[in-house]
């Protein structure tokens, strides 16, 4: 039996001119920051092809990354590092990173769409949209900025520690990644509160 795909209601845009979209990348990896982005698009400079960053090829993501930075009214990157993730837990660290992205915008938005089912505390009204990166252009743009930013950081880390394979798995818990940390141990930047890392460190 084929499972029918969920049908999401149309997104109703509020009557505001300055609307930001926010998304995150990096909740699942064992290492590195959780990275967020906030974007306010320019209605006079449409960007074709915006969608969930995970549905795009690396080449298309890179092209859209540059186009978003060129055409958006403003954008900002927020993050929470591995220490904050360990201290706060990944959910609260993600909310903090989202707050930082919004506060980093050079134009204060009147309303914010957040990808997912939970909003951080913000100074302006906001709404959480499930699958927002597929349904709201501003959130799609944010998902692309966040993913390209974090992926490039993992590629840079791979150049320092090539034996861990960060350029391939981007820090996510794959079998190859598990094998690497079992063999080599963990380097600075790993999230010590995550179970596989705890296991390698002998904390379980």
- Whether residue 153 is contained in a domain is answered as yes
Q: What is the pLDDT of residue 71?
A: 98
Q: What is the pLDDT of residue 8?
A: 85
- Whether residue 200 is contained in a domain is answered as no
204 residues of the chain, pLDDT tens digit each: 456 777 788 899 999 999 999 999 999 999 999 999 999 999 999 999 999 999 999 999 999 999 999 999 999 999 999 999 999 999 999 999 999 999 999 999 999 999 999 999 999 999 999 999 999 999 999 999 999 999 999 999 999 999 999 999 999 999 999 999 999 999 999 999 999 999 999 987
- Whether residue 184 is contained in a domain is answered as no
Q: What is the pLDDT of residue 5?
A: 74
Residue 199 has which token pair?
């296991």
- Whether residue 39 is contained in a domain is answered as yes
Range of the domain at 152: 19-159
- Whether residue 115 is contained in a domain is answered as yes
- Whether residue 173 is contained in a domain is answered as no
Q: What is the pLDDT of residue 203?
A: 84
Q: What is the pLDDT of residue 2?
A: 56
Q: Which residues contact 50 (CB under 8 A, 6 or more apart)?
A: 64, 137, 140, 141, 144
User: Residue 42 is part of a domain; what is its CATH number?
Assistant: 3.30.420.10
Q: What is the count of structural domains for the chain?
A: 1
- Whether residue 14 is contained in a domain is answered as no
Q: What is the pLDDT of residue 3?
A: 66
């Amino acid at each position: 039996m084929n499972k029918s795909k969920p049908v999401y209601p149309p997104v109703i845009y509020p009557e505001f001119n300055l609307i930001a979209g926010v998304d995150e990348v990096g909740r699942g990896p064992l290492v590195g920051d959780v990275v967020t982005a906030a974007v306010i698009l320019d209605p006079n400079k449409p960007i074709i092809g915006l969608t969930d960053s995970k549905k795009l090829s690396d080449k298309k993501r890179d092209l859209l990354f540059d186009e978003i930075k060129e055409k958006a009214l403003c954008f900002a990157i927020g993050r929470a590092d591995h220490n904050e993730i360990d201290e706060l837990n990944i959910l609260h660290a993600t909310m903090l990173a989202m707050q930082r992205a919004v506060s980093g915008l050079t134009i204060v938005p009147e309303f914010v769409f957040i990808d997912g089912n939970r909003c951080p505390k913000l100074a302006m009204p906001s709404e959480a949209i499930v699958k927002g990166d597929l349904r709201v252009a501003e959130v799609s743009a944010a998902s692309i900025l966040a993913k390209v930013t974090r992926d490039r950081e993992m590629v840079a880390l791979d150049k320092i520690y090539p034996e861990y394979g960060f350029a391939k798995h981007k820090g996510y818990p794959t079998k190859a990644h598990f094998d690497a940390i079992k063999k080599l141990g963990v380097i600075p930047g790993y999230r010590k509160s995550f179970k596989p890392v705890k296991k390698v460190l002998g904390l379980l």
